[in-house]
Structure 1
Amino acid sequence: MKVSLQTFGTRGDVYPFVALGAGLRARGHDVDLATSVDFKAMVEEAGLNFREIPGSGAHYFATPAVVKAIRKSPSSIRTAMAMPRPSVDEVADSLERMYDNAQGADFMLSNLITRGIGYAGPGVPWGTVSWWPMTPTREFRAYKTPDLPLGSAYTRLTHGMAAQMEWAFNRPAVNRFRTRRGLPKLSKSPVGQLGHQQPVFYPYSPHFLPPPSDWPERVHVTGYWSWERPEQQHQADLVDFLAAGSKPIVLALGSAWPVYGEQTLDLVRQAVRQARRRLIVVGGPEGDRPDDELRVQEVDYGWLFPQVAAVIHGATFGTTADVLRSGVPQVTVPCWADGPYWAARLAQVGVAPAPIPFQKLTGAQLRAALDEVVTDPGYAERAAELGARVRADRGVEKACDLIETWVSNTTA
């Protein structure tokens, strides 16, 4: 079987696809992974065939206007308006590249940013991945829609609103692509077909967020997709630092570091010192470090997180997955996108205190939250229990099973 995986964005958008691709390859399948050249080395390390999608998602937060917008508000719409946007023709050109990448595949899988090629007509059976629930349900409202006390009818309506917004974003380039290929334009949104005509994969744990009872059968909550990377040599100073004292705190803000900035690092330092802990900073600003602090540019979270006392992070999908799997408590400082969504859920299940929105962050809040997670053993107990369940999900294996079954059924 040949599978085309197409994803774009930051590391958190690419890593799960690499994990899935590695799982499919281990079963003997031929796997192409199309993404930006920023992640070519990671794709090839996993033994997958790299295919390029033009552009760069890794440097999304390097744009001053985007940083300014997020610092003002976590609104995805506000951020999208501040982001430099390619023209309709440029997006259609990217769809052309994605179309070419998919040809000859038995199945294609996209993410939010690359989903337009599915709507455009990839010429092969396809499905999609979402980092948060997008399938209509009466049990909870759509992602980032107003919380109004209007009952289940309104709750389900919010999903229609969200679908129309997604289609409005994709429609110009999709129809430009279709016109180039002599296909009729789509006037009606195809988003409603997802989960009915095409499978939808949610690579998070059902133990963390159970699927609603009214979702269609082609919607799958698989468990997180984690890549068991080959044994790596970890930097010696990090290994020594971990062994030199009590378990430290990790600050991991990923690609959003330009938004958080040095002021956030200073507040975290003060909170960690008050808690009488040491600090490991992943990424972040350059500069001298005191003896009780270590900076690492990049590290395998799956190896590091189980060895620490707690992780402070922005609650985006990828880091949330890694911390949940590690079974350690968390402090969340969400700044944008899905961060507020998953941060609220982490607090709800009791593995983190109430989120501290970055836009309202104070040192007092951060100190209180960190003191809470390192002194209340309930957080560590709940995190360890949930972590064991999350690790038992077999997310990659389940997704591989589903894809193999889907392809078998569509080619029978």
Structure 2
Amino acid sequence: MDVTIIANDTRGGVEPYLALGIEAAKRGHEVRAAAPDDYATAFTQAGIRFIPLSGVDREAISAHADRSSLREMGRHVEGLVPVWARDVRDAAEGTDLIMAGIGGMGLARPVAAALQVPLLRAHLQPLDAPSRDYPGPLAPRFDRLGPPGRRLSHVVTRVGTTALLAGPERVARRALGVATTPPVVLPSIVYGFSASVVPVASDRATRRIATGWWALPGDAAVDIPPELASFLDESSQVVSIGFGSMLGPAPERLFDTVARAVTAVGVRAVMLTGWGGLAGTSPTPDIRAVTAVPHGWLFPRVAATVHHGGAGTTGASLRAGVPTFIAPFGADQPFWGSRTHRLGVSPAPVPQSRLTVDVLSRALDRMLRDGVMRERAAALGDTLRREPGAAGVVDHLESVVAG
């Protein structure tokens, strides 16, 4: 089997697809992957043929996070789409199947159409999964309206994602010279989360398979600063706090809020500064600030996590079996905050814009001292770690190609 994965996203939206690629390559399949060029080493070291999506200056995004510069960056990215589309089409020649989630779908559909190969939807969120039991990931507020509101929220989510992809897909189709007719879309969707967290269900038209989170294998190479490992070994009461690629209007103030809350509770913390959403240096010996650490390595070594609620970060937190507190910025993050709270493994989410020292202090204190929450988190983590994850997706791919 020859499969091409497209994952044009930030870390939390790329690593799960790297896990899929590693599993497929381990079984002897030919794997190609298109992703931002800063992930080249991770893919090539796994024996995956890498297709770089180059041209986005992530440091510039971090340094200039105002709305006008982000709009300019959006126009810049749209200008890169024709190059990306042609590069992926040429590099994927001969592939049996294209696979992508929402981050790569704007390229995946046109490329699949150009190569006349099937497309498998592989999502990290419950997209294309209408239900009366949970809301759509982009409209979680409709949850309070009951089953009718949840149904409507999935319509809102579908409209939103369609609008999001329309521009890049149109540009890519024009560059590749393909018609607007969609490619062959397989009647199944694989999801990189657990049915224990979001119970997706199949219907007559679509088979929906939630395999569990797609986590990197435990033996994946991890480059950890020795001083960080020593910091974690000194005490079991360490929390992880970080907001990934999210950029708020006042990263210095957010860093100060987090530092003061950590001090107030009397806990030690690893602060993940990411793309600059937290901007500062460790103000006390009990706080260690680092840019990024693989979540699969870090989270099982801490007592609790605080983050923005991205799908991948949420999955890593739940798999670690520790309580998590979500301070969402937007997109699908409020959805994951609501789900974890409903499962009893998290305090109620609080938007990042309303995060204060008092709010974060209470959340930290509860996660560290609420025995019931900690037991629920540990039990859920045990369940999630037993699920097939990436292996389940490759099982499905093999059945699809064989069939």
TM-score range (shorter-chain normalised) is 0.7 to 0.9
Pick the aligned partner of 1:163 from 135, 141, 158.
Answer: 158
Aligned to 1:323: 317
The answer to whether structure 1 residue 238 and structure 2 residue 225 are counterparts is no
Q: Distance in 2 between matches of 1:68 and 1:14?
A: 25
CA contact (8 A) 1:179 1:185 kept: no
Partner SS state of residue 75, structure 2:
coil
The answer to whether structure 1 residue 137 and structure 2 residue 137 are counterparts is no
Cα offset, 1:219, TM superposition = 2.2
CA contact (8 A) 2:128 2:158 kept: no
Q: How does 1:114-125 map to 2 (within 5 A)?
A: 114-120=104-110, 121-123=113-115, 124-125=117-118
Q: Distance in 2 between matches of 1:114 and 1:154?
A: 29
The C-alpha deviation readout for 1:37-71, integer Å capped at 9, x for no partner, is 1211222232211111233385585264x5559xx
Q: Distance in 2 between matches of 1:104 and 1:26?
A: 20
Segment of structure 1 superposing worse, 261-270 or 388-397: 261-270
Segment of structure 1 superposing worse, 98-107 or 378-387: 98-107
Aligned to 1:292: 286
Distance 1:294 1:155, change over 3 A: closer
Partner SS state of residue 313, structure 2:
helix
Partner SS state of residue 258, structure 2:
helix
Cα offset, 1:16, TM superposition = 0.6
Partner SS state of residue 130, structure 2:
coil
Query: Runs of 5+ in structure 2 lacking a partner?
Result: none
Q: Distance in 1 between matches of 2:291 and 2:304?
A: 19
Distance 1:10 1:118, change over 3 A: closer
Distance 1:346 1:83, change over 3 A: farther
The answer to whether structure 1 residue 20 and structure 2 residue 14 are counterparts is no
Aligned to 1:202: 191
Q: Distance in 1 between matches of 2:164 and 2:272?
A: 34
Aligned to 1:371: 365
CA contact (8 A) 1:44 1:50 kept: yes
The C-alpha deviation readout for 1:315-364, integer Å capped at 9, x for no partner, is 11121111111101112211122211101111110111001111111221
Pick the aligned partner of 2:266 from 276, 282, 302.
Answer: 276
Q: Distance in 2 between matches of 1:408 and 1:147?
A: 41
Distance 1:117 1:246, change over 3 A: closer
Q: Distance in 2 between matches of 1:149 and 1:252?
A: 29
Q: Distance in 2 between matches of 1:326 and 1:239?
A: 17
Q: Distance in 1 between matches of 2:292 and 2:144?
A: 44
Partner SS state of residue 103, structure 1:
coil
Distance 1:368 1:164, change over 3 A: closer
CA contact (8 A) 1:95 1:116 kept: no
Residue type at the aligned position of 1:296 = V
Distance 1:291 1:183, change over 3 A: closer
Residue type at the aligned position of 1:167 = T
Pick the aligned partner of 2:142 from 131, 147, 167.
Answer: 147
- TM-score, normalised by the number of residues in structure 1: 0.85
CA contact (8 A) 2:81 2:171 kept: no
The answer to whether structure 1 residue 35 and structure 2 residue 35 are counterparts is yes
- TM-score, normalised by the number of residues in structure 2: 0.87
Q: Distance in 1 between matches of 2:10 and 2:58?
A: 5
Q: Distance in 1 between matches of 2:47 and 2:18?
A: 9
Residue type at the aligned position of 1:316 = G
CA contact (8 A) 2:106 2:172 kept: no
The C-alpha deviation readout for 1:75-104, integer Å capped at 9, x for no partner, is xxxx98686324866433432222223221
Q: How does 1:8-407 map to 2 (within 5 A)?
A: 8-56=8-56, 58=58, 61-62=61-62, 64=64, 66-67=65-66, 84-86=74-76, 90-120=80-110, 121-123=113-115, 124-139=117-132, 140-145=134-139, 147=142, 155-156=150-151, 158-175=153-170, 177-179=172-174, 183-186=178-181, 197-212=186-201, 214=203, 216-228=205-217, 229-230=219-220, 232=222, 234-256=224-246, 261-283=251-273, 284-407=278-401
Segment of structure 1 superposing worse, 282-291 or 129-138: 282-291
CA contact (8 A) 2:23 2:390 kept: yes
CA contact (8 A) 2:309 2:334 kept: yes
CA contact (8 A) 1:51 1:101 kept: yes
Distance 1:112 1:262, change over 3 A: same
Cα offset, 1:234, TM superposition = 3.2
Cα offset, 1:144, TM superposition = 2.4
Distance 1:263 1:102, change over 3 A: same
Residue type at the aligned position of 1:38 = D
CA contact (8 A) 1:8 1:111 kept: no
Identity between Structure 1 and Structure 2 (%): 28
Q: Distance in 2 between matches of 1:346 and 1:148?
A: 14
Residue type at the aligned position of 1:7 = A
Q: Distance in 1 between matches of 2:37 and 2:45?
A: 14
Segment of structure 1 superposing worse, 309-318 or 214-223: 214-223
Residue type at the aligned position of 1:267 = T
Cα offset, 1:391, TM superposition = 0.4
Segment of structure 1 superposing worse, 25-34 or 122-131: 122-131
Cα offset, 1:203, TM superposition = 0.3
